[in-house]
Amino acid sequence: MALGLISVALFLFLSLDPDNDFTSTVSAASGQEGVEITYGSVIKLMHEKTKFRLHSHDVPYGSGSGQQSVTGFPGVDDSNSYWIVRPVPGKSSKQGDAIKVGTTIRLQHMKTRRWLHSHLHASPISGNLEVSCFGSDSQSDTGDHWKLVIEGSGKTWKQDQRIRLQHIDTGGYLHSHDKKYQRIAGGQQEVCGVKEKRADNVWLAAEGVYLPVKEAE
């Protein structure tokens, strides 16, 4: 799908989002350097080592929690790989605010409105920490909270930066690898949490619609 079509579709989505400020300017970015990731942006996360995108769809795990499954997806164009960057409840952060290193955030799956989640259930293939999607617009808990860890000297999250996401409740890092599901079409691979920093838990922001940094009032 061409970037222009993606941008139009996501613009329409953001216009319907109750948290969206209708006066905001939406900027599309793909492969650009130095673009800030701000609250309200709709992005894909690319696993650095395998280049798969963080992905979910309304299919439950057949084991563990039975919650909505999360996988790594090889294609670039699938709309089930879009996530909305949200603050945690109770914070004063607003749409368009930059996100500093060490900040706790949430990622909301665009299509199903559930939150990227983890807990102590075992993941289906490797037996690490299961990563799922859980909740709704009005239902979220601390199992949806992830700490932004920036690799290198960056102070705020940018598109070209290597990052890790560390789960607050379990301490596990969002992780993927080349272990693939045999019964899921498209060669999708397992996403899980591991408690050690490894080369396989580094991600980068990829395709999406990035809201520009909101100027201080």
Q: Burial-class residue 209 by CB neighbours within 10 Å (0-12, 13-18, 19+).
A: buried
For residue 1, the model assigns a pLDDT of 42
How confident is the model at residue 4, as a pLDDT? 43
What pLDDT shows up at residue 217? 57
Tell me, what's the pLDDT at 160?
A: 85
- 7 band by pLDDT with thresholds 50, 70 and 90: very low
Q: What is the DSSP letter of 151?
A: S
pLDDT number for residue 26: 43
**CATH number 2.80.10.50 is the correct assignment for the domain at 3-210:** yes
pLDDT of residue 34: 80
Which of 15-24, 120-129, 179-188 has the largest mean confidence? 120-129
How far lies 104's CA from each of 11, 17, 134, 169, in Å?
26, 22, 17, 11
Q: What is the pLDDT of residues 171-198, one digit of tens each?
A: 999 999 999 998 766 789 999 999 999 9
Q: How confident is the model at residue 22 (pLDDT cuts 50, 70, 90)?
A: very low
Average pLDDT, the chain: 87
Close Cβ partners of 182 (under 8 Å, ≥ 6 residues apart): none
30-53 tens-digit pLDDT: 445 689 999 999 999 999 999 999
Q: Show the DSSP H helices in the chain as ranges.
A: 3-16
pLDDT in tens, 61-102: 999 999 999 999 999 999 999 999 999 999 889 999 999 999
Please compute the mean of the pLDDT values over residues 120-137 and round it to a whole number: 97
The values of phi and psi at residue 134, to 5°, are -150, 150
d(CA 213, CA 37): 8
